[in-house]
Amino acid sequence: MTTTLTWYGHAALGLKTGGYKLVVDPFFSGNPAASISADAVEADFILVSHGHGDHVGDSIDIAKRTGAMIISNFEIAGWFDGKGVARTHGQQHGGGFKHPFGYLKLTLAFHGSALPDGSNGGNPAGFLLTTNDGKKIYMAQDTGLFGDMKLIGEEGLDLAVVPIGDNYTMGPDDALRAVKLLQPKVVIPIHYNTWDLIAQDANAWAERVGKETGTKAVVLKPGESYSL
């Protein structure tokens, strides 16, 4: 069973696994780095890591058009219920659930989570997905560095997705430290080059990862995919 991850630009990801289509943090409208439009995205499930506009993005439109279920923390799932989204599933940090596409656990993230209209978005999260054939994928989404990444790494990660943009999230130096704690087989950087404020040289970062860790860094262009 092949699982394919696509980086759509910023923190927006597509995942195809076991015949299911997932989209994570689907920010396309107003995203200068987006490689696809919200109208073109196919999804069975939408994962939303926290309440900020560049992560909630086009979730409501995509959910209404496709009938996809939105999975997020309990507070954000309830907010989507109130926006007329038919299918939502709320979880909370440390809690996992066996969805059709795999076992999904919400992890810690050090960040904010206010929703675009000022509603309480609970606490921000990352995602740890165990696919139906046992692959482990950690999507850190927006976070600073935290020591408990070591605990996430103990799960034995096939792939980690980490932010490197700095200012709002980890920058390159802390993201390198994150790789050392997570020890994934492969790491993919996200949340950079969307705007000048978070411009980074991902290839230079990947070179450092190659020199200082046992992890392979894969730098994608928006729209490119990696299969595992």
The minimum distance between CB 198 and Mn ion, in angstroms, equals: 9
166 part of the interface to Mn ion, by CB under 5 A: no
Nearer to Ni ion, 51 or 102 (CB): 51
99 binds, options Mn ion, Ni ion, none, Cβ within 5 to 8 A by partner type: none
142 part of the interface to Mn ion, by CB under 5 A: yes
Residue numbers of the site for Ni ion (CB under 5 A)?
52, 142
Q: Which residue is nearest to Ni ion (CB)?
A: 52
The minimum distance between CB 140 and Ni ion, in angstroms, equals: 12
Nearer to Mn ion, 33 or 68 (CB): 33
The minimum distance between CB 53 and Mn ion, in angstroms, equals: 9
166 binds, options Mn ion, Ni ion, none, Cβ within 5 to 8 A by partner type: none
Nearer to Ni ion, 52 or 105 (CB): 52
58 part of the interface to Mn ion, by CB under 5 A: no
The minimum distance between CB 210 and Mn ion, in angstroms, equals: 26
- The per-residue DSSP string of the chain comes to --EEEEEEETTEEEEEETTEEEEES---TT-TT-SS-GGG---SEEE--SSSHHHHTTHHHHHHHH-PEEEEEHHHHHHHHHTT-S-EEEE-TT-EEEETTEEEEEE---S----TTS-------EEEEEETT--EEEE--S----TTHHHHHTT--SEEEEE---SSS--HHHHHHHHHHH--SEEEEES-SSSGGG---HHHHHHHHHHHSSPEE-PPPTT-EEE-
Q: How many chain residues interact with Mn ion (CB under 5 A)?
A: 2
Distance CA 132, CA 17 (A): 8
Nearer to Ni ion, 57 or 102 (CB): 57
Instruction: Using CB under 5 A, list all residues that contact Mn ion.
Output: 54, 142
